[in-house]
Structure 1
Amino acid sequence: MARPKPDEDLIKAQLLDAAERLLARYGPAKVTVTEIASECGMSQSNAYRYYPTKQALMAAFAARWFSEVEAKLAEIAQGQGTPRARLRHLLKTQLAIKIERHDRDPALFRAYLELAAANPAAVAAHSKRLSSLIDGLVAETSDGLSGRKINLAATTQAILDATLMVRDPWLIARFRDALDKERADSLIDLAISALD
């Protein structure tokens, strides 16, 4: 009788879950694939079948973190309501997700920041995807303005600049104590006023 084929997606998810637990404890520099594999009850060589290097495993881990955020924000961008209301909701949700992750496990959040610093291309791609959601909502708002067109690129950039403190995880971590709901709402409202 043939051995059943292992569920690759499940094993990859187990490795990423184990990496998350260990990253929160030790940080990216000190975590090894051997430890991650051991945490899953498998050999190092088996772990390398799914992720050929530690860097590949860490990149997959970061991609999972990014994809969860992107999926939620894309759902909002494509949802119901006016473009302006969806933009406000998107920005508030982006902050809420990051604050929740920071407050739930500050050590893991710092590990994410270290991974981000070590993987600038992945961060740039993630930022570009999120910026395109904002750009799309700005374009929709522009279409609804009677007889007036706005400079889409400049308006999107103004919104991104004005909301940096509520979007950038480094700034969220640094200014977490000062970043209450009232301050965040003021920043978001200021940014959206670029659409007036």
Structure 2
Amino acid sequence: MPSTSETLTAERILEATEEVLRRHGPAKATVVDVARALGVSHGSVYRHFRTKAALREAVTKRWLDRTSEALAGIVADEERDPEARLRAWLLTLFDAKRRKAGDDPELFATYMVLTGENGEAVGEHVADLTAQLARVVAAGVASGAFAPAADPVTTARAVFQATGRFHDPCYAKDWERPGVDAEFEAVVDLVVRGLRG
């Protein structure tokens, strides 16, 4: 248990919340459990997060943001050509989602419940991911690597949807099947060929 002399921050609360969710699941985890894990009163937690729903939304957003942050680094890497960035971005997304599902299935299941409750956080996450893809597509068009697209945002949405089987959590059971990596590569190759025009 963390020392109560440590400054209570939103980040510490979110870390503790994640651990409580891992142990108890979303149906049984309470703000009191989080406070107990931190060695503070539940009122201290409520000073940072006004409601249980706000706390659950913040922990969901934090979970989703981890993936977005890793992908943002790939988008910003202008040393790589746009096709290499697109391939790396899609592979990193697939690997991140697969790792989350496979390494900690209890927490993954918990987050599936939480993301269902927090449509706004999920919508923001998807918008961020498609905006990242749009920047890669726009860079590809600008460099001549990809054919001119009517709209990089529309193209990015299409790429995101076309590869959904490899990042949408509803397909998590398929991610460990034999041959899924080859299927992923085939889809990415098809998408890249389509972008080249």
* Superposition TM-score, scaled by structure 2 size: 0.87
- Equivalence for 2:37: 39
**Contact 1:98/1:169 (<8 A) preserved:** yes
- Asked if structure 1 preserves the Cα contact closer than 8 Å seen for 2:166 and 2:175, the reply is no
Residues 48-57 or 83-92, more deviating: 48-57
Structure 1 residue identity aligned to 2:149: I
1:122-174 deviations in whole A, cap 9, x for unaligned? 10011001101111111111122289522234432331221011121222x23
- C-alpha RMSD of matched pairs (Å): 2.1
Q: Residues 155 and 194 of structure 1 are in contact (CA less than 8 Å); yes or no, is this contact kept in structure 2?
A: no
Aligned to 1:89: 88
1:72 aligns with 2:76: no
Q: Note the residue ranges of structure 1 that are not aligned, 5 or more in a row.
A: none
Residues 160 and 109 of structure 1: CA distance in aligned 2, closer, same or farther (over 3 Å): same
The alpha-carbon deviation at position 100 of structure 1 amounts to 1.2
Which runs of 5 or more residues in structure 2 are unaligned? none
**How far, CA to CA, are the matches of 2:31 and 2:130 in structure 1?**
34
1:176 deviates by 2.5
State the TM-score, normalized to the length of structure 1: 0.87
Q: Which whole-Å CA distance do the structure 2 matches of 1:148 and 1:70 have between them?
A: 26
Equivalent in the alignment of 1:28: 26
**Which residue number corresponds to residue 106 of structure 2?**
107
Q: Percent identity over the alignment?
A: 30
1:1-196 matches, cutoff 5 A: 7-9=7-9, 12-79=10-77, 80-145=79-144, 149-152=148-151, 153-171=153-171, 173-178=172-177, 180-196=180-196
Distance of 2:155 and 2:101 partners within structure 1: 29
Distance 1:127 1:143, change over 3 A: same
The residue identity in structure 2 corresponding to 1:86 is: R
Give the ranges of 4+ consecutive aligned residues of structure 1 lying more than 6 Å apart after TM superposition: none
Letter in 2 for 1:46: S
User: What SS class does the counterpart of residue 126 from structure 1 fall into?
Assistant: helix
